[in-house]
Amino acid sequence: MDIAHRSAPMSSLARSHDGLITLSYVVFAAIALVVLYFTMGAPSFDEAALAAINVMP
């Protein structure tokens, strides 16, 4: 019982970082989209490069 009571506050501490983690994913996705937008205008960019970028993170 004592262990269960000690672990309960830990979940609230982890839960307080959810917004920050979600925000970092959104920022990372926005940066990735901007990079894709600018690289599509490059002269050596073709459909094979676009497929490789989408498959490889």
Our CA dihedral for 24, 30, 31, 33, rounded to 10 degrees, sits at 150
Task: Record the pTM.
Answer: 0.51
Q: For every one of its 57 residues, what pLDDT tens digit does the chain have, with 9 covering 90 and above?
A: 556 656 555 555 556 788 899 999 999 999 988 887 777 777 777 788 778 777 876
d(CA 26, CA 31): 9
Q: What is the pLDDT of residues 3-17, one digit of tens each?
A: 665 655 555 555 678
| Rounded alpha-carbon distances, angstroms, from residue 7 to 1, 10, 12 | 10, 5, 10
CA 4 to chain centre: 32
